[in-house]
Amino acid sequence: MKKQHDSIRPIVWQDDHLELLDQRVLPHSYKILEYTDVHEVADAIRDMIVRGAPAIGITAAYGIVLAARQRYAENSGAWKETIQADLDYLAASRPTAVNLFWAIDRMKRCISTINGEPVSPLLAEAIAIHEEDIAANYRMGELGAELIEPGSSVLTHCNAGALATGGYGTALGVIRSAYAQGKIKEVHADETRPWLQGSRLTAWELIQDGIPVTLNADGAAAWLMKQGKIDWVIVGSDRIAANGDVANKIGTYNLAVAAKHHGVKFMVVAPTSTIDMSVASGDEIPIETRESSELLDLNGNQIAAEGATAWNPVFDVTPVEIIEAIVTEKGTINKPDQFKMRKLMEDKL
């Protein structure tokens, strides 16, 4: 059963195919794309038709269902061998989002148990991943909202909402839950350059669900804090290292430093599938760099001076010591560190 302010589902398995809401054309167009081929699904992840670490993992799981159907039809006796190239192609689509590899590994474990027709058990596993993500988001929404005092103003960066997950969202799940409880008086969203996920996606989905939002330029966030207009910064994550360092959309580190300086609390909201205990610290997290044209051009028109080059990292890493809380579906870690992270993950097992 859906909660309040919870109307958006960007990923849908429909009969025999996958449907994705094309996030590149929001908010001006609402376009659903259909997929029956795993390589097209991987390309959709790479091209940011779908984005956000949990959503990428869910989409990859459904992509593996499509791959299994095709490989089994081609050669039912060797499909487990031939599907490996499809799994590798999926894994190469977005290197920073650990949920991608988590979902692929989980589907691999399911593959290893299958004797006979693979589509039904793999589809059941993908649906379970999807439903578990939404349930986790509901739980994180409740836990994160417990930290917020009535009358608070919050700031979020990029999009960590329904569009970045199976539904409801991580950071926006907390905001949705706290708003439904009457705790939030104002939501600010960074525009989030260069893809403008805050302007195009976060603002769109909050408005769709009846939550007022005020947009600001990324560079205005510190000034908002200076004026005492922000109580919490609430963000998602694409990968969390074993020590609690957090990789998230570029600009998150700026916010965390500004928040620390101004005494503003900083919350990261992510499922435990985003925690990568094989990575000791944020220094080991691979940071994706995208095409320079995303900075030099706008809608296909060059906006930069001729001859200028661009550096376009998609993510940055926020060190654990300036994070107030990490909220997961398994519990909240206040003042996180490597020992608290390890205990959370051991308890999860």
Catalytic center residues: 238
CB of 52 closer than 8 Å to CB of 156:
no
Q: What is the crossing angle of helices 98-112 and 119-145, to 10°?
A: 140
Residue 242 is which amino acid?
A: A
Contacts of 43 (CB under 8 A, 6+ apart): 93
- Burial label, 61 (beta-carbon count in 10 A; 0-12, 13-18, 19+): buried
Chain centre to alpha carbon of residue 11: 13
- Tally Cβ neighbours within 10 Å of residue 150: 10
CB of 147 closer than 8 Å to CB of 175:
no
Residue 172 is which amino acid?
A: L
CB of 51 closer than 8 Å to CB of 164:
yes
48 sits in the region (left: phi over 0; alpha: psi -120 to 50; else beta) called left
3 state SS for 258-326: HHHHHCCEEEEECCHHHEECCCCCHHHCCCCECCCHHHHEECCEECCCCCCCCCCECEEEECHHHCCEE
Dihedral sign of CA atoms 290, 291, 294, 300 in order: negative
